[in-house]
Amino acid sequence: MNLQESLVQIVGEHALKTKEPMMRHTTFRIGGPADYFVMPGSIMEIQKIAALCRDNQIPYVIIGNGSNLLVGDRGYRGVVIALDRNYSEYQTEPDGRIRAQSGILLSSLAGAALQQHLGGLEFASGIPGTLGGAVTMNAGAYGGEMKDVLESALVMTQEGELLSLSNEALELGYRSSIVMKEQYIVLEAVLRLTPGDPEKIAETMRELNRRRKEKQPLEYPSAGSTFKRPEGYFAGKLIQDAGLAGYRVGDAAVSEKHCGFVINLGNATAAQVQRLIQEIQEKVWKDSGVMLEPEVKMIGE
């Protein structure tokens, strides 16, 4: 049995695509074809796909909404496991907890919390990623971050073992976690939220989304903040001070609205984005002595 037949046996034909353009699955709208693109719907399916790839030494990568991802122009040789709409169920519990699969969008989860009159996730309502990615990198915005609301997470190790990790065991820091360090895969998470006035929760969400729209170049495809915040500085300010607002390599450009964002003006390639990132790093280093570290994950060829 070949790889394609084995994958179909695990997830069914409806949940497998071959030679799938990755530009359809990243917020950058960039990326060549993945050999295999699978959309599992259960933990068992995820375990079986990962085991199949490990046993046959086939590269594989986990993605969510592709909101922090740059895929190479020649695509990805191997299996892309997409934890998104096929793996996005949640349930609310009477004590303020929400248990959710990692493929659910943060915006959907924030909406579900609002319906249950639960506060604490307002900061996440405009973040375009999934819960799994948010746990992995301890996503945050406007003074809130995942570690404030995360009680525990179920993860899978590289060997396929399932571990339930508490907030403390997840070692959540600025854009970091034990998940990232050990290359675990987030399968589920439990959030503990606070009962609140739904009108106030909704108003906070509207205000944060208004500020996001006002300050970020949401009208262009991007992967969000391109660089991590250097200690004691703001990446966008350093890039602006280096005179790089609007600077372009092909259709990849530094946003004039917010210099911390590299945007796709229409037909940017991954190579152009990578070159632009490198040129930004070199210019900022020369200008201020600060080496910017990319926040965007890069995969593929």
Active site residues: 175, 225, 295
Beta strands in 66-117 (DSSP E): 69-71, 76-82, 90-92, 97-101
Alpha-carbon distance of 51 to 180, in angstroms, equals: 20
Alpha helices in the chain (DSSP H): 3-11, 43-55, 106-115, 131-136, 178-182, 198-215, 235-241, 270-288
CA dihedral 87, 144, 253, 241 (to 10 degrees): -160
Alpha-carbon distance of 230 to 136, in angstroms, equals: 19
The C-alpha angle with vertex 102 and arms to 149 and 153, in degrees rounded to 5, equals 50
- Tokens, residue 100: 């959710």
Alpha-carbon distance of 301 to 56, in angstroms, equals: 20
Q: Are strands 144-145 and 69-71 parallel, antiparallel or unpaired?
A: unpaired
Selection from 48, 54, 49, 47 nearest residue 36 by Cα: 49
Distance of CA 183 to the CA centre of its chain: 14
